[in-house]
Amino acid sequence: MNKDKNYFDYSLLFLIILLMIFSCIGLISAQKYVQIDENYFSKQIIWFIVGSIIVLAIFCFDFDSIRKLTPILYILGILLLIGVLIAPESIAPSRKGAKSWFIIPGIGSIQPSEFMKIFLILMLSNVVTKHLERYTVGLIKNDFKLLFKIGLVSLLPMGLTLLQNDFGTSLVMFVITVGVVFISGISWKIILSLMSIGISILALLVGIFIYDPEILLFVMDQYQLNRIYAWLDPFGNAQGIGYQLKQSIVAIGSGMTYGKGFKDSNVYIPEAHTDFIFSIVAEEFGFVGASVLISIYFLIIYRMVSISMQNKNNPFESFICVGMISLLSFHVFQNIGMVIGLIPITGIPLPLMSYGGSSVMATMIGLGLVLNVSLKTKNYMFSREE
């Protein structure tokens, strides 16, 4: 006879709700900088409600069913990415040089690449789990076979996203893939060799930028190159492409320790309700408020690591958690890093903080999967702890 114990992670759920509250507070303040007649605060609440309904729906599925649905979702995601590229401008217009959105009348814009990140996590988890079920881990031949499968699955969506001129989302997909590779069981000799190649390529690109940056136009457009110039000298480019970053740095610095107070921000930041929402929080609530927000993200990631460790005997579920840990960690590091001038601007939103229906729903789907992992974790009375 066995006894099931439910490990549903209520602390993770509480932290997610806290993040939603933070988002609503930030959007109320950022609303005054919006140039068009849109109430982003109200719309964000609607997206949170829709996302919560989707999370409840996810709880209805066991992971055997989710594994069976994974290839279908992956193919659907690929078709949507192709559809964005070939659709006419009336359906999929270009914004700031990127062609990444479908316009749906009465709803707004939907960005397929945001959902593709979650579908990629599922597909990579499925592919690696199947490989581990069939092959011995640690053999060089088998490891290269797994690496080839992972590359095949991840390079297609990354390539299609790059064709949309969305480097930031492609980078997120790359980081998700790297995270899964690290715990897939592939030999560290192979991983370290790949890391050496990656570091060498990065060093080469830095050298090219220093000595002849125009060569980089073969792999990026002029706008992306200008963003690097703006990152290196935001105040020297303050009247042009560096204006947004300069304003963000000024706003964050002016918040000092305790901030100016709720709705008392006065430094104008373009698109403050989306990618630069952290700047609003830092200006109004200072170093203390910004630290609280970062701590919430840290605790969410910690809880996901804990859930993943509890499911080490269920590879598919564990890989899903690792994929979401990689996604969330990189999003937070990249977004906060770019608004404080630590790294170049790539247009990556701050999860569940920045306004955006696609980003909110995709993130909630991913977190819903992690919560479902914790819900399905069972402990049996006479099972041996490993």
What are the sequence ranges of the domains in the chain?
Answer: 10-376
Residue 9, number of CB atoms within 10 A of its CB:
20
Say what the pLDDT of residue 234 is.
79
Say what the pLDDT of residue 32 is.
84
| Range 67-96 average pLDDT | 89
Question: Per residue in 97-138, pLDDT tens?
Answer: 678 888 887 777 889 999 999 999 999 999 999 999 888 777
- Going by pLDDT thresholds of 50, 70 and 90, the confidence category of residue 377 is low
pLDDT above 70 as % of the chain: 94
Residue 350: φ, ψ to 5°: -90, 115
- Side-chain-side CA neighbours of residue 128 (13 Å): 29
Query: Which of 1-5, 123-127, 186-190, 343-347 is predicted least confidently?
Result: 1-5
For residue 31, pLDDT over 80 is answered with: yes
Taking alpha carbons only, the member of 6, 93, 26 closest to residue 335 is: 26
Q: Which carries the bigger pLDDT value, residue 329 or residue 235?
A: 329
For residue 45, pLDDT over 60 is answered with: yes
Say what the pLDDT of residue 125 is.
95
Taking alpha carbons only, the member of 252, 215, 222 closest to residue 341 is: 252
- From residue 210, give the alpha-carbon distance in Å to each of 166, 235, 236, 242: 24, 20, 18, 19
- Going by pLDDT thresholds of 50, 70 and 90, the confidence category of residue 6 is low
| Range 64-86 average pLDDT | 93
DSSP, collapsed to helix, strand or coil, labels residue 297 as helix
Say what the pLDDT of residue 274 is.
87
Say what the pLDDT of residue 381 is.
38
Say what the pLDDT of residue 212 is.
80
Euclidean distance between CA atoms 330 and 335, whole angstroms: 8
pLDDT averaged over every residue in the chain: 87
For residue 380, pLDDT over 70 is answered with: no
Say what the pLDDT of residue 188 is.
85
Query: Which of 25-29, 128-132, 341-345 is predicted least confidently?
Result: 341-345
pLDDT above 90 as % of the chain: 52
For residue 213, pLDDT over 90 is answered with: no
Q: What is the rounded (10 degree) CA torsion for 350, 304, 327, 202?
A: 110
For residue 385, pLDDT over 80 is answered with: no
- Going by pLDDT thresholds of 50, 70 and 90, the confidence category of residue 335 is very high
Query: Which of 83-92, 172-181, 356-365 is predicted least confidently?
Result: 83-92
Euclidean distance between CA atoms 97 and 320, whole angstroms: 32
For residue 277, pLDDT over 70 is answered with: yes
Residue 155: φ, ψ to 5°: -70, -30
| Range 307-335 average pLDDT | 92
- What is the pTM (predicted TM-score) of this model? 0.90
CB 331 within 8 A of CB 362: no
